[in-house]
Amino acid sequence: MLRTGKEALQRRSASAVEEVATRLQALGEMDYDALRVEWRRLYRIHPPKRVARDLLLLGIAWKIQERAFGGLGATTKRRLADLAKTLERNGDVTRNRVARLKPGAKLIREWHGETHTVIVTEDGFEWRGRHWQSLSAIARAITGGHWSGPRFFGINNRARQPIGSRAEEAVDA
């Protein structure tokens, strides 16, 4: 009887799942020194010094699963690399959430009849001839209240629908 490629893959996948489960269970029974040896075998480098046993286990388990089922996708790898650069540059990955804005871009917002234009720079923003580190500080200066700068300037609304379409859906329901 001939098997389709899909059936063969499913059979191979089922055996891979069993093999990985067995290997992961065996990790729990290894002592610290054995885990360090396993790390060196899988990663081909020495594990970090003074790393906790739990972290060794997690790293080894990840590598076993990565080899059996594949690693991260290209998009995820790029995002992680961007986060690593941001962390190295700023010491914090949360500070650079609007890093996708290119220097020279203009953010325009009307507030109480006045139009405000902010220019994105290499290291922050420019508004009214002054340099600012965050959009939230600019939004606070404009409104006199606490605002999320990206939200105030409408750059975090990618997944949102226009208000009118939500209202129409509510009426139709």
Residue 90 confidence (pLDDT): 78
Q: Looking at the structure, do residues 106 and 147 belong to the same domain, yes or no? A: yes
Residues 22-63 have pLDDT tens digits of 999 999 999 999 999 999 999 999 999 999 999 999 999 999
- Is 167 a residue whose pLDDT tops 80? no
Residue 156 confidence (pLDDT): 67
Q: Looking at the structure, do residues 114 and 157 belong to the same domain, yes or no? A: yes
Q: Looking at the structure, do residues 25 and 76 belong to the same domain, yes or no? A: no
Q: Looking at the structure, do residues 63 and 79 belong to the same domain, yes or no? A: no
Q: 118 with 127: CB under 8 angstroms?
A: yes
Write the DSSP string, 124-157.
EEEETTEEES-HHHHHHHHHSS---HHHHTT-S-
Interatomic CA distance for residues 48 and 51, integer angstroms: 6
Number of structural domains the chain divides into: 3
Q: Which helix H or strand E contains 120, and what residues bound it?
A: strand 114-121
What six digits make up the tokens of 14? 């089922």
Q: Looking at the structure, do residues 62 and 36 belong to the same domain, yes or no? A: yes
What six digits make up the tokens of 33? 């020194």
Which domain range does residue 77 map to? 72-96
Q: What percent of the chain has pLDDT over 90?
A: 54
Q: Looking at the structure, do residues 42 and 10 belong to the same domain, yes or no? A: yes
